[in-house]
Amino acid sequence: MDRENKDMDRAEFSSFVFERIRKSGKVYVDKTMYIRRLFDLDSNVIVSTAPRRMGKSLFTFTLESLFLGRRELFKGLYIDSTGYDYEFHPVIHIDFAILGTFTAEGIDAFISRELRRTARLSGIEIELAEPRAMIVDLVDELSFKYGSAPVILIDEYDRPLNSCDETERLAEIQQALRRFYSTFKGLSARLHLVYITGILKFSGLGIFSGLNNLVDISMDDRFSGMFGYTEDELRENFGEGIAEYAEKEGLSEEGVYEALREMYDGYLLSPNGVRVYNPVSIGMFMYYLELENYWIRTGNMTIVINYARRHRITLDKLSPMTITRQDLELFSIFDFLSDEEMPVSRLLALLLMTGYLTIDSADKDAIRLRIPNHEVMETLFASWGDTYLPERFADSYTMSYSMQIRRALSEGDVEGAVESINHVLSVVSYDHLCCDELLYGGLIITMLGASLDEVPRSEEHTSRGRMDLFARAGRNIYIIETKLDGSADAALRQIEERGYADKYRDKARRKGLSVHLLGLSLDSKEHRITGWVEKVE
């Protein structure tokens, strides 16, 4: 079947411009009900943050088309059925995604250029050069020319901050943005709406301190489905493509939905909201009809990985994955450039904001987190694995071997998996592991996490103690105990004597899975697994 010429329910993943999607005939999942909810809020200055690749820019362009009165683009959508009048409002749209120079001077120049572009498109001349004066002048001129209050849309407001890796330059950028946004307080009475979107929670960035009327809807349950695709939206909009993939792979359609759920679903953007799929990953799946990890292609964890490498924070140290609401409020991007180690909960907060973790459950005291789905798990563990390595081995060195581990353990080939693990261990510096069994275990769980079918767990509790590792690959469950400078036989004996596998046997029997008891011997001098013994049940 020729997909290039087939008129089907293909999502648009390469463009986030609403007008282009609607004119091209590609699928647009209707999110205009949330625009109506924005209008019901008590403030006209609104911030909404969400992880990357969740549809924030598309929503911003949707607002732009709406306020420019492009009624023909909204035919058949929810908002068109509500009696909305499509009153024209001039739009000032600044998208920091296209910013190229991350300095205070570069930001001022970029904002000035964008404001002049908007003025030029409206036939207005602005003589002032300083961004704060320019935007005040532009708002007044637009209001006078069109007789209606302008709208300001700011996309990826935090990109200049989360793309900076120097404390001094970060402070200068922060000041430049604070100066610009400080004008919004005085302008808000003259504006119809200010809508700001990004990834990082604004309270920790110190750039909106003057905006007392700002409303943050980021974790508001009423807007939990504004980004991403819900299960109902997936079924309603992409049924034809799902059927095609099912036929291609010889699967049932429900089997495909289950596979998509495991791979791309699982985001909970507010404590009591609705779960959503990653829309870009779904779009790429619908285009290529391949169930692959699309998240890793555009992932950027540089600031996190550099911090973890600098402070030797291995992945096992993130457990338990629980934060408080205060951790989100106290989050500061400056912490990640500091030589002082911050509480792990702040690192978890950043992983939540960037989409590597999501909300599992919450109460008034705590927010419990989890990895949302398999493609994020694979990316997170593979990226984090590089924190153990010298910088010359960075850029997903671990991922290449993790794929080999996945194949080996899925086939029950422990010898092949051990060989791949040893390849990675061979380049880890001696000083990094320091003869610490937990650090060895942390690296092994990181490699396993990038390759297995569910999140591996370290120090897993049982009624008679804690095993080192639990993992699953394909039809195989692995109960793993490691001994640093000890024998593999002793490790296996501990698994058996303490009954680590007892709580998994019933599940394995019901699902037809094999249980592997695996003892590993780690040699701190040779820096490798020197022995292993396995018992299969």
Structural domain spans, the chain: 30-223, 231-297, 299-388, 413-537
Using CA atoms, how far residue 160 sits from 175, 329, 406, in Å, is: 12, 20, 38
Please indicate whether residue 130 or residue 472 has the higher confidence score (pLDDT). 130
Please indicate whether residue 56 or residue 436 has the higher confidence score (pLDDT). 56
* Phi, psi (deg, nearest 5) at residue 360: -95, -50
pTM flag (> 0.75): yes
Cis peptide before 320 (omega within 30 of 0): yes
Quote the pLDDT of residue 437.
Answer: 55
pLDDT in tens, 314-351: 776 777 889 998 888 888 888 888 778 888 898 999 89
Q: Are 315 and 449 in contact (CB under 8 A)?
A: yes
Quote the pLDDT of residue 438.
Answer: 52
CATH number of the domain at 30-223, out of 3.40.50, 1.10.10, 1.10.3470, 3.30.2420? 3.40.50
Cβ atoms within 10 Å of 25's Cβ, excluding its own: 10
DSSP-derived letter for residue 210 is: T
pLDDT grade for 143, boundaries at 50, 70 and 90: very high
Query: Mean pLDDT across the chain, nearest whole number?
Result: 85
Q: Which of 59-73, 310-324, 413-427 has the lowest mean pLDDT?
A: 310-324
Quote the pLDDT of residue 8.
Answer: 43
Q: Do the first three CATH levels of 30-223 and 413-537 match, i.e. the same topology?
A: no
pLDDT in tens, 68-85: 999 999 999 999 999 999
- Which residues, including other chains, have CB under 8 Å from residue 159's CB and lie 6 or more apart? 96, 97, 99, 198
Query: Tell me: domain 413-537, CATH 3.40.1350, correct?
Result: yes
Q: 459-465, long-range: CB within 8 Å, 24+ apart, which pairs?
A: 459/316, 459/319, 460/500, 462/498, 462/499, 462/500, 462/502, 462/503, 463/499, 463/502, 463/503, 464/498, 464/499, 464/500, 465/498, 465/500
Quote the pLDDT of residue 332.
Answer: 83
* Nearest one of 355, 293, 322, 397 to 162, comparing CA atoms: 355
